[in-house]
Amino acid sequence: MTEPQWDGLIVGAHLATLDAAQGYGAIEDGALGWRDGRIEYAGPRAGLPGPPERLAREVIETDGWITPGLVDCHTHLVFAGDRAREFELRLQGATYEEIARAGGGIASTVRATREASDDELIRQSLPRAQALVASGVTTLEIKSGYGLDFDNERKMLRVARRLGEQLGVTVRTTYLAAHALPPEFAGNADGYIDAAIDWLPRLHAEGLVDAVDAFCEGIGFSPEQTRRMFEAARALGLPVKLHADQLSDLGGGALAAAFDGLSADHVEHTSLDSVRAMAERGTVAVLLPGAFHVLRETKLPPLEAFREHGVAMAVATDCNPGTSPLLSMRQAMQLASTHFKLTPEEALRGATVHAARALGLGDRGVLRVGARADFVHWAVRHPSELCYWLGGHLAHRVFASGRQVA
């Protein structure tokens, strides 16, 4: 008798492979086998090439559903402190400007993050990352942007890398120094962009940067300043993403597309011209319903235009201390269904296939032979339940690269 060749095999659960242009790619009474972190078999149990015990060293017989691992492609997860008191003040009538004048807003998060050591940032950020993994996340994007100087941007990116190592999941780091203007550069946004551009090659040389982002908005940075940052990224061969058109239409979607951007994120005010540009260049629209919900926004992204022009729509948590303190990827999917009227299938694709594409990762987000063995075993009777239930813990097992992480 030959030794089993696969590391593991799950039989009995239904598979939502998503390995087709439409539909869940459902396989009833399925089987999923993996070896060396890659999927070796994804199909019906009846199609296995032999008895399960002869194929894999570990065999799990179960029910429920298995989907690809969820991909949270937009977070600001590494930070110190919180802004719960500001949330309370806003509910009592305080404006954002009043809170900012009193030392609150993003400036308070920058102060707290600068004061925290690497270990303290890990201590505060790890529970947030663990909560996302417990909700089914196997790949996680984390941005800098609360340091706003070289040492503290570097610290944030370094901590993001450590989180991935501790959790056993993929963490993709995004350089977002162009997030806000630090006090040292008050009234000198161009000078700050010069500094942030100067820091980028050094951080990239240390292996800390996977992509570059910017906040292109009236209260952030102009399209021209954003363009300068993106040109610096392109010179280093780094892909770009963009906080685009959240509060107004500055042509952010088209700007991201002009640099072959992986994604344009938020996109509530994105114009039809930008939609067309995104479609032409394959730029993903990342929907962030957590911020939409917390800010009580009413301006919807151009969802029908995205569908009509074939722009892929991803879904992410935007986990951050000010506008989206969201610690569940499944809840982000639920909010996307409720606020943006995505179907459960669209939301699941948005949290897997399209979210992986928004990070430039083509080896995950589906259950197919050769793909990375990132998957979630859910205690549900149908995948639509992932967007149906408000709260609750539905992820029974979470596997990243073939290893159980939650």
388 is in an annotated binding site: no
Annotated binding-site residue? 309? no
Confirm whether residue 234 is marked as ligand binding. Answer: no
Helix axes 118-134, 150-167, angle to 10 degrees: 40
318 labeled part of a ligand binding site: yes
CA atoms of 289 and 265, how far apart (whole Å): 11
How many CA atoms lie less than 13 Å away from 375 in the CB half-sphere?
Answer: 30
Question: Per DSSP, what are the bridge partners of residue 404?
Answer: 399
List the one residue out of 147, 141, 153, 220 whose CA is nearest residue 180.
220
Residue 343, marked binder:
no
Contact (Cβ atoms closer than 8 angstroms) between residue 178 and residue 198: no
- The response to whether 354 counts as a known ligand-binding position is no
Contacts of 208 (CB under 8 A, 6+ apart): 154, 157, 158, 161, 173, 175
- The string of DSSP letters for 321-361 reads SSS-----HHHHHHHHHHHH---HHHHHHHTTHHHHHTTT-
Binding residue per annotation — 320?
A: yes
Evaluated on CA atoms 43, 49, 50, 56, the torsion sign reads negative
Say if residue 175 carries a ligand binding annotation: no
CB 245, CB 272: distance < 8 Å: no
| Virtual torsion, Cα 356, 360, 362, 365, nearest 10 deg | 0
Ligand-binding annotation for 266, yes or no, is no
Q: Is 204 annotated as a binding residue?
A: no
Structure-token pair, residue 213: 């982002």
Side by side, which strands form the sheet with 38-44? Answer: 38-44, 30-35, 6-11, 56-61
The rounded distance, in Å, linking the Cα atoms of 202 and 212 is: 14
Tokens linked to 237: 């061969």
State how far the Cα of 24 lies from the Cα of 37, in Å rounded to an integer. 23
Total length of the chain: 406
Q: Is 166 annotated as a binding residue?
A: no
State the Cα–Cα distance between residues 329 and 140, nearest whole angstrom: 10
Binding site residues, as ranges?
74, 76, 83, 146, 179, 243, 246, 318, 320, 322-323
Binding site residues for Fe(3+), as ranges?
74, 76, 243, 318
Binding site residues for 4-imidazolone-5-propanoate, as ranges?
83, 146, 179, 246, 323
Binding site residues for Zn(2+), as ranges?
74, 76, 243, 318
Binding site residues for N-formimidoyl-L-glutamate, as ranges?
146, 320, 322
